[in-house]
Amino acid sequence: MAIRDEYAAQFGTLIPAMVTVLTEDGEVDYSATVEFAKRLVDRGADGLVVTGTTGESSTLDDDERIELYRLVKEAVGDRAKVIAGSTSNHTSHSVELSQAAEAVGADAILLVTPYYNKPSQGGLIAHSFAVADALTIPVMLYDIPGRSGVPLSTATIQELAKHPRINALKDAKGDFNATTEVIATTDLAIYSGDDGLTLPLMAAGAAGVVSVSANVATEGYRALVDAMTAGDLATARARHLELDPVQRAFMSHLQGGVATKAILKDLGIINNDGVRLPWVPATDTERDEIWADLESAGWSRPTP
């Protein structure tokens, strides 16, 4: 566990996959995004994924992404790790953007399984090693077959874990038995990539969570992660049950980034819930569905 604890210190334990705030005309609102990053850290986040899926990585330009890594790192300093969502299904581009992220101060990168290409397991290994070999900062694998179309097999993860800079895994595969085997056979710091599985995965030995819902419910997830780390299962269970309808609100109705921005705007935390196509903002009906879940968790919907 000492090695896993060391790796957790490289990435944090509560890691919101933060949104990228846009202006009314669709440009990146750098100042608002930086203020939002500071808000997350003030409320307990010790890591931030910048320009992950929730942060609209696939529709941001390279210059926008690099500037976000630089500005967020300058803003949060040593209070939280900045994990750059700097990879895609294009290997050489992933290398170049990840090197740029490292150059402007990112603490680590999130290495997503290449999507659309559907590479073999051998291709996944070669792609991952190519990116990790080009860096000096640590790498968190991101296994999300629901989006990428291809899972990282247990054998592939075990092979990738041999690389000195591949030190963590964001697990969004939804296969608890496979994740348990990875925990048992590697020294990777495992992070739940599904908010609702934070408690059971941490009970099996995971280090924490990379969370969409923690964009808003930051303190709740901080309490859950801390309780699990301390072995206080009763408190952790209570926090898990309180967060369950919150997780549904963020993840059950719309893309996580769209729902998150809708909630953040309704709460007055950001001024614009705009997203870039092909995403579109939440409709009034979709907002009603989201808030029905939040209200069942005891949240009060602000009056327009």
Question: Catalytic amino acids?
Answer: 142, 170
3 state SS for 220-256: HHHHHHHHHHHCCHHHHHHHHHHHHHHHHHHHCCCCH
Alpha helices in the chain (DSSP H): 2-11, 30-42, 62-76, 91-103, 121-133, 145-148, 154-160, 176-185, 198-204, 218-230, 233-251, 256-266, 284-296
Q: Which amino acid is at 87?
A: T
Pick from 184, 155, 152: nearest CA to 169: 152
Beta bridge partners of 83: 49, 108
Six-digit token pair at 295? Answer: 């209200």
Task: Please provide the DSSP assignment of 261-304 as one string.
Answer: HHHHHHTTSSS-----TT--PPPHHHHHHHHHHHHHTTPPPPP-
* Assigned token pair, 264: 């953040």
CA distance 125 to 39: 37
Structure tokens, 81: 């790790």
Of 186, 179, 232, the residue nearest 201 (C-alpha): 179
